[in-house]
Amino acid sequence: MPDLSGILILFGVGAVAAFINVNAGGGSSLTLPVLIFLGLNPTVANGTNRVAILFQNVSAVYSFKREKYYDLKNSLILSALTLPGAIAGSILAVKIGDELFQKVLAVVMIFIIITMLIPKKKFERVNTDFVVDWKIVISMLAVGFYGAFIQVGVGFLLMASFQYLMKLDLIRVNMHKVFVVLIFTIPAIFIFVLTNNINWYYGLTLAAGNVFGGWWGAKLSVKKGESFIKFVLIIAIFIMAIKLLNVF
């Protein structure tokens, strides 16, 4: 059980991570190391982090709805497509060894940074609705698997899928993103619970910060618009790069 300073650290890191997650992605690159630093092994840290992710996205979905950004039908369709992959990914997450998990995580984070640095063309056309085709189905299955397995950076994958396959504007990208992550986190948590890989005290403490950050992240995403989201995205990538270079 962490002392007062540990509680404050978990709350603060949770708030910052949720704010980054809602507007971009990569917030778990902050929370996972903190949980491991506080004494959890990587698998338990991975499971514990999902408690905070769940509450963060409940808060963000509600905040988007309050701001009149809500598309339940399409969000449910996208979420349902992630579930088979999420179940498979969470099973792998509790089976893989801690050392191998850390190596996989490091490689994945490097890959995320490289892909985010590749210039992307801008789309003139923006959809508010979309048709589910085979590319979206495959993308959502992969996102569900990856998100349940590692979680770190899954926001970037969802943003790429929604923006470049479906040509949604960034506010709607984030609106769907938080709903989809909320849904595929549920079976992941269930499997982590069954395998006793969650520290509930740490998870709920971190979740309190995530709820706060998720709420304000969603509100600012709507009020500040796309330029603000892009700014947060750049900051998130920079933080991940600094961490990978072991600068701190």
| DSSP state letter for 168 | B
CB-CB contact of 193 with 54 (8 Å): no
Decide: pTM greater than 0.85.
no
CB-CB contact of 217 with 7 (8 Å): no
Q: What's the rounded Cα separation, in Å, for the pair 108 and 120?
A: 20
Task: Report pLDDT for 65.
Answer: 87
Rg over alpha carbons for the chain, rounded to the nearest Å, is 17
CB-CB contact of 195 with 94 (8 Å): yes
Q: What's the rounded Cα separation, in Å, for the pair 151 and 48?
A: 12
Mean pLDDT by 10 residues, the chain (248 residues): 75 82 73 83 90 88 85 92 95 82 67 60 55 88 91 81 82 89 94 94 90 75 59 61 54
Task: Report pLDDT for 124.
Answer: 47
Task: Report pLDDT for 245.
Answer: 55
Task: Report pLDDT for 37.
Answer: 81
Task: Report pLDDT for 97.
Answer: 75
Task: Report pLDDT for 144.
Answer: 94
Task: Report pLDDT for 145.
Answer: 94
